[in-house]
Structure 1
């Protein structure tokens, strides 16, 4: 097991160590147990004992440095659920609250607030800190560590109380896959007049189909390269299925989709085919990020006023709204639970696209070491 030095920890925190599964120097994509001293708990932070954490495709891109290089050791994980076991005096949560943490753990603090935070769009904050491998910009130093761990400390406004109707294991996926798909449907006003397409029936796509059904979309088209998920797509809310390996199906679907969420991060996707299905004045929204550049012919956009746009997470307000909507509408991810100690095999399965549809790491309750306290 790797261990970090105490660094800038205060006297009271020098004896405290959190342990996670980290991408370490020379690890070759295999996570190893690693312990570190957390930053001292501030007045408006909470300490969370983690019970569950989802594995997202972006964790795999991170571990393998598919998007960019990383600072090692680094603990991934950003679909976090657990219990508040310690709180600063100004924290909004109480000891024992069940909360979730997503892709961000901090935005503007104090009197200096950026334009995006003033607009309530904190996902674009100029001073944000993402959940792992990101420098804190609050003047206290340190680099964020993620949720593949036993505990985490975050600002309390980035820990969201989970509705009682949603189990902890089910809740984890909402903090990335859920909010990533909910936000563009809200932004582009998906509803009874929307013919919606969802490209890729996986960790994101299977939740997107459920959102669309609950929002009452006119038509919900599941788009995949194979028929092996066709029956499941209809159970999830699809009203139509297109297999992109069948050229006749693509031809029949020409100009038929008003809003399309692309959850497929494959660099080999046929963007020409996707764009041929887009109706005039439609939007093709990129949610997954291929590791290679995407290419397409510009006439698809110009001739029908089609827009290719991106969508990045959601605000704190969006997350709270999403959780309430999911609880009310009975929307739940389809999950497979694995123990944290099986994390490397679970990550391999995610990389291979095996889950139906989300793997959730679950901590053995008998290993709990945290003692609930206020400070």
Structure 2
């Protein structure tokens, strides 16, 4: 199915990232970027790991969708000082998962976590990053990367989807729409995952 195809890539990737964050039930996790990866990360964090979720994006439509999916706090990181708001409302996130590719998202994530927090990088920024090493050392903040999960992670990701804890938001489109889909992606207009139906 279209939903299952989303779990094999985006689902297992985000499930593994949330797992790597070491988030515990009731703790705060910030999810940066709410596109095809981020909306799944939000669901795994909320519905599987029982975390409190802070959803961050620069697109208000994505934030609206995140609120509908159960985010406890939504922040437009383009128009608001995300790290400041997170510290004021939560005392700092226990962890952050960055699916966005913008340099600003990574910097904000490091600033948004509390002492001892963990930042998990999933998105790949197009440029080199500089980190506030003294802050990482003095506050014991960890920055780790997470690629794709193992076969066991995939099995677990599928199981949670089968139980209805995670419902991929997918749109089926014919192959003939491929150029339009890429244009929509570049303009940030895609909600969830786009799945190409080769039968149409």
When the two structures are superposed, what TM-score results if normalisation uses the length of structure 1? 0.49
Which residue is 1:138 aligned to?
none
Distance 2:78 2:189 in 1: 20
Q: Structure 1 residue 362 and structure 2 residue 197: aligned? A: yes
Specify the alignment match of 1:262 in structure 2: 98
- How far apart are the structure 2 equivalents of 1:270 and 1:207? 18
**Can you list the C-alpha shifts for 1:245-286, whole angstroms capped at 9, x where unaligned?**
34455323235111111000124x254332221111111101
RMSD: 2.0
Whether the 8 Å contact between 2:30 and 2:109 is mirrored in structure 1 is no
What's the offset of the Cα at 1:183?
0.8
CA distance in structure 2 between the aligned counterparts of 1:217 and 1:300, rounded to whole angstroms: 28
Instruction: Give 3-state SS (helix, strand or coil) of 2:120's partner.
Output: strand
Question: Cα 1:310–1:249, aligned 2, differ >3 Å: closer, same or farther?
Answer: closer
- Higher helix fraction: Structure 1 or Structure 2? 2
**Equivalent residues of 2:117, 2:142 under 8 A apart:** yes
Among residues 120, 125, 129, which one is paired with 1:290 in the alignment?
A: 125
Structure 2: which 5+ residue stretches go unaligned? none
Q: TM-score with structure 2 length normalisation?
A: 0.88
Correspondences of 1:171-186 after superposition (within 5 Å): 171-186=4-19
The structure with more radius of gyration: 1
Q: What is the DSSP-based 3-state SS (H/G/I as helix, E as strand, rest coil) of the residue aligned with 1:353?
A: coil
Q: What is the match of residue 222 of structure 1? A: 55
CA 1:231/1:317 → structure 2, altered by over 3 Å: closer, same or farther? same
Runs of 4+ more than 6 Å apart: none
1:1-375 paired onto structure 2 within 5 Å:
168-254=1-87, 256-267=92-103, 269=104, 271-364=106-199
Length, aligned pairs only: 197
Distance 1:262 1:279 in 2: 16
Alpha-carbon distance between aligned partners in 1 of 2:22 and 2:164, rounded to the nearest angstrom: 18
Alpha-carbon spacing, 1:313–1:322, altered in 2? closer, same or farther (3 Å): same
1:354 and 1:178, CA in 2 relative to 1: closer, same or farther beyond 3 A?
A: same
Tell which has more relative contact order, 1 or 2 (C-alpha 8 A, sep 6+).
2
**Cα distance in structure 1, aligned partners of 2:136 and 2:147:** 22
Q: Is the 8 A contact 2:42 2:71 kept in 1?
A: yes
2:95 match: secondary structure: strand
**In structure 2, C-alpha distance between the alignment counterparts of 1:252 and 1:345, rounded to whole Å:** 37
